[in-house]
Amino acid sequence: MNPSQLDTATDALRRRLPFEPEIMVVLGSGLGALAEAVEDPVSIPFGALPGFPAAGVQGHSGRWVAGHLEGRRVLIQAGRFHLYEGHPPTMVVAPVRMGARLGARSLLLTNAAGGIDRGFEPGTLMLIEDHLNWMGRNPLVGEAFPGEPRFPDMTAAYDPALRTLALEVADELGIPLAQGVYAGVLGPTYETPAEIRMLRTLGADAVGMSTVPEVIAANAAGLRVVAISLVTNHAAGVTGAPLSHDEVIAAGAAAAEPFGRLVRALIAQEARAGAK
Ligand code: HPA
């Protein structure tokens, strides 16, 4: 998706939104339930906007939901485009760029991930401190989009103030929130045990097939980012059990309640983290 196609899609979405959003939220595999809690929802399938393909793997509903949550104006991207589906990197990050252009200041991302840290049991929530881009591509390759720096700084890709806030909010709610480094891999295969040993050696605590492109684009677009992984399974080789997508979806459903409470509280309190 080039800059002019992005403008066209953004204008089309703007016309259908009831407001200028404050916060954009990306809901990952099996975590879509939060979209149902939105008040006065306006739902727009991705495929309804020019330049977008109809999307989805099982567990991805593929739509925008705009409305109020905790009194805040939120724009939810329920379902995402993955590199492993063959989408161009600019398509994968187009929604995030659109959210920034529509006025969102903060981006809250969720995903499902495999636990590399042996202490991460399925159901663990992990605040992402930093990432390893092991996807073999960067969504900013090519001509820089208008308003985006050629060489974006990634020193604080996951906003420190929002991370502190997330830890405080989790503590207030009594929801355990681990912290760690997320390794983004291309997929669609799950990793081999040797790859997981490699990623652990490199400093990764969890692994997944999303989020990294969006976080890169969000930083280039000036959004403040906070991201939380739901560990749905032990990564390959940690227990020796085979991995399955069904297990990932089931773990997402099982953790939906605390995850939803945490995300809602973070939305409610986001302003507490001050300006960037
Ligand atoms: N690896 C990669 N992506 C994932 C995993 C995993 O183990 N679990 C959920 N998404």
Per-residue pLDDT tens over the stretch 215-231: 999 999 999 999 999 99
Q: Identify whether 4 is a catalytic site residue.
A: no
pLDDT class of 274 with cuts at 50, 70, 90: confident
Q: Is the shortest distance between the CB of 195 and ligand 1 below 6 Å?
A: no
Q: What is residue 30's predicted lDDT score, i.e. its pLDDT?
A: 64
The per-residue pLDDT of the chain, averaged, comes to 93
Q: Identify whether 133 is a catalytic site residue.
A: no
Given 1, 9, 24, 29, which residue is catalytic?
A: 29
- Residue 142 sits at φ, ψ, to 5 deg, of 110, -170
Structure tokens at 101: 């252009």
Protein residue with its CA nearest to atom 6 in ligand 1: 114
Please give the helix or strand (H or E) that residue 136 lies within, else none: none
Nearest to 263 by CA among 161, 147, 140, 170: 170
Q: What is residue 53's predicted lDDT score, i.e. its pLDDT?
A: 81
Give CA separation, 87 vs 91, 109, 155, 180, 269, in Å.
Answer: 6, 19, 27, 28, 34
Around Cβ 59, how many Cβ atoms within 10 Å? Answer: 18
Per-residue pLDDT tens over the stretch 182-219: 999 999 999 999 999 999 999 999 999 999 999 999 99
125 near 259, Cβ under 8 Å? Answer: yes
Q: List, in order, residues 6 or more apart from 31 with CB less than 8 Å away.
A: 110, 111, 112, 230, 252, 256, 259
Q: Is the pLDDT of residue 61 over 60?
A: no
pLDDT class of 62 with cuts at 50, 70, 90: confident
Given 106, 126, 233, 255, which residue is catalytic?
A: 233
At the fourth CATH level, the homologous superfamily of domain 3-273 is Nucleoside phosphorylase domain (3.40.50.1580)
pLDDT class of 276 with cuts at 50, 70, 90: low
Per-residue pLDDT tens over the stretch 29-53: 667 788 889 999 999 999 899 998 8
CA of 248 to the centre of ligand 1 (A): 8
Nearest to 131 by CA among 77, 83, 78, 179: 179
Please give the full DSSP string across 6-36, using - where no structure is assigned.
HHHHHHHHHHH-SS--SEEEEE-TT-GGGGG
Nearest to 116 by CA among 34, 184, 38, 196: 196
Q: Is the pLDDT of residue 55 over 80?
A: no
- Using DSSP's 3-state secondary structure scheme, residue 141 falls into coil
- Which of 121-135, 178-192, 229-243, 248-262 shows the lowest per-residue confidence on average (mean pLDDT)? 248-262
Domain ranges within the chain, ordered by starting residue = 3-273
Protein residue with its CA nearest to atom 2 in ligand 1: 208
Given 1, 104, 135, 209, which residue is catalytic?
A: 209
Instruction: Supply the pTM of this predicted model.
Output: 0.95
Q: Identify whether 68 is a catalytic site residue.
A: no
Protein residue with its CA nearest to atom 10 in ligand 1: 113
Q: Is the shortest distance between the CB of 191 and ligand 1 below 6 Å?
A: yes
Probe residue for ligand 1, chosen from 134, 182, 243, 246 as the CB with the greatest number of ligand atoms within 8 Å: 243
User: By percentage, how much of the chain surpasses pLDDT 70?
Assistant: 96
d(CA 7, CA 218): 16
Task: Indicate the burial class of 44 (C-beta count within 10 angstroms; 0-12, 13-18, 19 or more).
Answer: middle
Q: List, in order, residues 6 or more apart from 86 with CB less than 8 Å away.
A: none
Q: Is the pLDDT of residue 261 over 60?
A: yes
Q: Is the shortest distance between the CB of 113 and ligand 1 below 6 Å?
A: yes
Structure tokens at 95: 């929604």
Nearest to 3 by CA among 150, 149, 143, 141: 143
Q: Is the shortest distance between the CB of 182 and ligand 1 below 6 Å?
A: no
